[in-house]
Structure 1
Amino acid sequence: MQRRNFIKLSATAMAVTLYSRLTYANANNEQLINNPDEAWALTGGDWVRLTAANGSAFSGNGINVSLKNSKNGQAILVQAPSTELRGIRLVWKYQNQKYSKMLGDHWERSYGDLAWKTPESNVKNPWYVMLYDGKQTAGFGVKTGCNTMCWWQVKPDNIELTLDTHSGGEGVKLGDRTLHAADVVTTISKGNENAFATTTRFCKMMCEKPLLPKQPVYGINDWYYAYGNNSQKSINEITKIMAEFAVSGNKPFSVIDDGWELPDDFSKHNDKFEDMAKMAAEVKALGMRPGLWTRPLIARLDTAKNRLAPSIDGRNDPKTPILDPSVPENIEQIKHNISLYKQWGYEMVKHDYTTWDIFGKWGMQMTTDFTQPGWHFYDQTKTNAEIILNMYGAIRQAAGSMYLIGCNTLSHLSAGVFELNRIGDDTSGKEWARTKKMGVNTLGFRLTQNNTFYAADGDCVGITKDVPWDKNKQWLQLLAQSGSPLFVSADPAVLGAEQKAAIKQAFAQAAKVQPTGEPLDWLTNQWPAKWKLDGQVTTFNWD
């Protein structure tokens, strides 16, 4: 690589020193990362260093890694024809001590713990990492839809990218095929661009073709006051109340959450519901658009054992057997159920639990491993990411024109496939502290993904007697003016005149196209209180 092509990113000596060694500009003046200084492979218990054949290829132990530049990224291609491959690690030597803050992402939903933090060597940053030096912001990531689970680690003297190639809890058997593991992209802030603007632009770089709703999405969901104790009668009751606040030209959704189905069969309703097609028609007649919650990987109790995923910690309840998503017959069953909901007349499906059901862990628990070691899928020739992408694609295909909300879905693999994604863990209709922790933090640090990856759903406003209205009213306002989806989960018994007036105003705001809200104090506040919303600065009191 010729040094005259190295990018000069700012007048500061720090930026020139750091970035001239790590990134460069191509002929189109787009920033690319240099070839790595080291490449490692994991096949058994230890990482083995590969030998550099030239600047863009590494090999050893029957494993080949090559890097190929495109106009806006660097493709990582992997071959391992005769071994079970668990992972590839690329290392760029790079002095990072001058960075004061680092922001990473999460595997699936976030868990109230996102923040600009002091860089730590042992922290895994899923999918991408943003670095801040007090003036400029740099981003290192992989494009969405990648075929491996990727994370970045920022160490004092290098940056590392690990591409996990497990299939279940064992290595993948690639055979003779070449795995297009991921595409690396990088950026640095431009002009007077602040950290929020740079991160938002970087999300657009990582996801070139997001799939977005045709209109802003808003409406209701029964979970945070019913918690599964719902019925056809109760859904009709709350839908009738809330339909009064519908905005002409953009009808709200009424999403029926968990509680309608048989325990082991998501193609059949229980005795609390008379008929699911009739339920959808009744919601439409009341002036809303029907939506439905489902758990795709739950198996019927009579499912043949060879279709089930192995029993592991987190996936060992005999009352809730889990389908192996690499079995073609199971994919067809998932598609059948999604198609059935469409036939019933539903216009949105919220599908949940797939990450937990596949790995037996929540994203916050994936600090060391994604899952318990020692097991693999029926199809061990595909990585976990490839198997999940295939399942997501099947759900998308079966849904057709229905909107899809991914919940407990892998964020980087959901982008471009689902119109909406639940970006944080559950808020609450029982305690404000949980809504603040999960909701406010999630919205503050993942709104950069809103309308860049998908419509970013920060979860519901749970309006009940147990959550102080003065706090919920602020959470409602933030969601309504953020430019992201708004869902209200309101107990009819506590809907007084003040609550109804606030919901009516929130629906009117959420139903129209708005700029994505910006947390103005997110560099220093884990639960941002100062926001720029539709051009106006608003300060909230979350405590």
Structure 2
Amino acid sequence: MEARFHVGAPDGAMVRTEEGWRQLSGGAAGSWSAKGISVALNAAGVGFALELEAPDDAVRLIKLRWKIKQEGRPLILGDHWERGYGELEWRGIVPERVLPWYFLRHDGGRTAGFGVKTGPNAFCFWQLDADGITFTADVTSGSEGVRLGARRLRVAELLHDPGLEGDSPFAAAQRFCRLMCDNPVMPKQPVYGGNNWYYAYGNSSHEEILADSRFMSSLSAHKTNRPYMVIDDGWQLVSGGGACNGGPWVGNAKFPDMERLIGEMKEAGVKPGIWSRPLLTAEEVPAEWIRYAASGGQVLDPSQPDVLQHIRESVERMAGWGIDLLKHDFTSYDLLGQWGMTMKSKPNALRQSFRDGSRTTAEITLDLYRTIAEASGQAAIIGCNTFSHLSAGLFEIQRTGDDTSGRWWERTRYMGVNTLAFRMPQHGTFYSHDADCLGLTADVPWTLNEQWLRLLAASGTPLFVSADPAIVTKEQELAIRRAFELAAEALPVGEPLDWLHNTCPSRWKLNGEETVFEWNDVNAELLEEKDNGWWL
């Protein structure tokens, strides 16, 4: 295919080293340089590869600038570094707004895309103002600039799609996501089932998980695509009752034999899944493996081959028990010391660097993710609190938003619906897009939760239900059965119809039909439920 970057060569380029900013000169044939440093943009496939050489300097940032006057009143949609936090939206021009990985620009007629291909070797973001577009590649290694030596770093592949006249913003977003990811990895079958987090919150046992498994199995009549049951935090040796502690990844007094439990779950008719936090451990490990001390143990340094081998062996042990799904968590936080909502233009918040300073944080993260993917064997992977653009093409499922709740409906509405809508173009183009669970408890009004269940079930995305079997009513049980019937089969991707002007879309196209939801009724507990035939 012809190389695409229709906005032309940048009008300026800068590099920040440990000594400060350097303006690069040149630009002829797509190359810029200063003393001892060179940056180049070379045609590569459908985009342009950004490359860096700096044999003697520690480089932190690369900035490219295009002077492009913004006409009219465009709406801009950006992505997030890792999960969404309820604030994804189409907005007007906000110069300081950081747009990680890619952004879309809708002018009323066309929707253009600007971004980088998935799997870049830097943390890349965009900013748009009235006078132009700025692209930044963060090539730091932990808290310091990367020291490449004689190595030439392929930083990222930049892409631009000018859009098609009359294409809907949603269709344009899907097309651009396909352009960014060459080889998305998808689950073999649609994903649905249970997860015990949103009612157990880390307090569970072998017997309770088996009860959960039998309950989830009883809710599905599908013969060839059985439901999952995910054992979340609380099974590991140093479990802290919801503290999300790390390894060693062996059971505890309430989970004395994990391999036996996995076997019994399969006998109950579910696909077993398990949670882990690969970078945190309470084990005694060599001092050089430790990057920093943290609550619950120490965080490992994945830039070291021995640490990656240790993580590989832990994942292989869990895979060897016969699990069908691995949910791994917290790598973004453990690597960079902050949640995605506060990263903005400075993803890293830690003072510590990596022992191997010759590779970027993105390269080190990609090696970690590849190790987990390889070691998982036949088990599907859910990445939770993982970097979206670095997960695409490696993990089958991505937890695309922050936690929903079994205690507070407003959190489910704010986090769940927003995430499902605004990252829906990534479903099937990056991975399978998981906007998180239905937390079915007595604390959340059923009339609101039932709508969230219906939306998830018909959206074509994974459906996980977190429900204490002891409190589920017959009416709720029937609703979950119907939801599982839908979720077990492949469905068209759900489309938010009012997402240009509503951060919590209420109008959706689901399986070819428009459906309207009411997310904000404060009298929901008192409403009489009516069967509108939607399930039929």
- Give TM class, smaller chain: over 0.9
CA RMSD, Structure 1 to Structure 2 (Å) = 1.4
- Unpaired runs of 5+ residues, structure 2, are 239-245, 521-536
Question: 1:507 — aligned with what?
Answer: 484
Distance in 2, Cα, partners of 1:196 & 1:368: 26
Deviates more, 1:75-84 or 1:242-251: 242-251
Distance in 1, Cα, partners of 2:183 & 2:407: 38
Q: How does 1:91-240 map to 2 (within 5 A)?
A: 91-240=65-214
Does residue 265 of the first structure (1) align with residue 247 of the second (2)?
yes
What is the SS of the residue equivalent to 1:494? coil
Does residue 426 of the first structure (1) align with residue 403 of the second (2)?
yes
Question: 2:242 — aligned with what?
Answer: none
Does residue 253 of the first structure (1) align with residue 251 of the second (2)?
no
What is the SS of the residue equivalent to 1:475? helix
Question: 1:57 — aligned with what?
Answer: 31
Question: 2:322 — aligned with what?
Answer: 345
Which AA in structure 1 matches 2:374? Answer: Q
Distance in 1, Cα, partners of 2:215 & 2:264: 13
Deviations 1:33-91 (A, max 9, x none): 41111110000364221001514000003110011112301101100100000010111
By how many angstroms is 1:214 displaced? 1.1
- Contact 1:96–1:156 (8 Å) recurs in 2: yes
Deviations 1:343-392 (A, max 9, x none): 11111000000110111100111124222364310100000000000000
Instruction: Pick one of 43, 47, 50 that aligns with 1:73.
Output: 47
- Contact 2:110–2:166 (8 Å) recurs in 1: no
Question: 2:358 — aligned with what?
Answer: 381
By how many angstroms is 1:515 displaced? 0.7
Distance in 2, Cα, partners of 1:36 & 1:128: 17
Deviations 1:84-129 (A, max 9, x none): 0001011111012424211001000010000001111111100001
Does residue 334 of the first structure (1) align with residue 308 of the second (2)?
no
Q: How does 1:417-496 map to 2 (within 5 A)?
A: 417-496=394-473
Question: 1:4 — aligned with what?
Answer: none
By how many angstroms is 1:487 displaced? 0.3
By how many angstroms is 1:136 displaced? 1.4
Does residue 275 of the first structure (1) align with residue 275 of the second (2)?
no
By how many angstroms is 1:296 displaced? 0.2
By how many angstroms is 1:240 displaced? 0.8
Distance in 1, Cα, partners of 2:395 & 2:3: 32
- Contact 2:44–2:157 (8 Å) recurs in 1: no
By how many angstroms is 1:217 displaced? 0.7
By how many angstroms is 1:32 displaced? 4.2
Deviates more, 1:30-39 or 1:164-173: 30-39
Flag the 1:33–1:100 CA change in 2: closer, same or farther, 3 A. Answer: closer
Which AA in structure 2 matches 1:298? Answer: L
Deviations 1:177-227 (A, max 9, x none): 000000011113324310011001100000011011111111100000000
- Contact 1:269–1:276 (8 Å) recurs in 2: yes
Deviations 1:135-192 (A, max 9, x none): 2111100000000000000011111110000000110000100000000111133243
Distance in 2, Cα, partners of 1:31 & 1:125: 18
Deviates more, 1:156-165 or 1:188-197: 188-197
Q: How does 1:10-89 map to 2 (within 5 A)?
A: 28=2, 32-44=6-18, 46-89=20-63
Which AA in structure 1 matches 2:270? Answer: M
What is the SS of the residue equivalent to 2:358? coil
Question: 1:307 — aligned with what?
Answer: 289
- Unpaired runs of 5+ residues, structure 1, are 1-26
By how many angstroms is 1:419 displaced? 0.3
Which AA in structure 2 matches 1:383? Answer: T
Deviations 1:219-259 (A, max 9, x none): 10000000001111111111111211221211110000000
Does residue 298 of the first structure (1) align with residue 280 of the second (2)?
yes
Distance in 1, Cα, partners of 2:448 & 2:27: 60
Deviations 1:256-294 (A, max 9, x none): 000000125332111011310011111100111000000
What is the SS of the residue equivalent to 1:291? strand
Distance in 2, Cα, partners of 1:292 & 1:97: 50
Distance in 2, Cα, partners of 1:510 & 1:373: 41
Q: How many residues align?
A: 512
Flag the 1:105–1:202 CA change in 2: closer, same or farther, 3 A. Answer: same
Aligned-residue identity in percent: 45
Distance in 1, Cα, partners of 2:516 & 2:137: 41
- Contact 2:5–2:161 (8 Å) recurs in 1: yes
Question: 2:524 — aligned with what?
Answer: none
Distance in 1, Cα, partners of 2:129 & 2:90: 16
By how many angstroms is 1:444 displaced? 0.8
TM-score by length of 2: 0.93
Distance in 1, Cα, partners of 2:398 & 2:301: 23
TM-score by length of 1: 0.92
Distance in 2, Cα, partners of 1:60 & 1:373: 29
Question: 2:266 — aligned with what?
Answer: 284
Which AA in structure 1 matches 2:225? Answer: N
Distance in 2, Cα, partners of 1:412 & 1:231: 35
Distance in 2, Cα, partners of 1:456 & 1:505: 21
Q: How does 1:359-398 map to 2 (within 5 A)?
A: 359-372=336-349, 374-398=351-375
Which AA in structure 2 matches 1:388? Answer: T
What is the SS of the residue equivalent to 1:438? helix
Distance in 2, Cα, partners of 1:71 & 1:87: 25
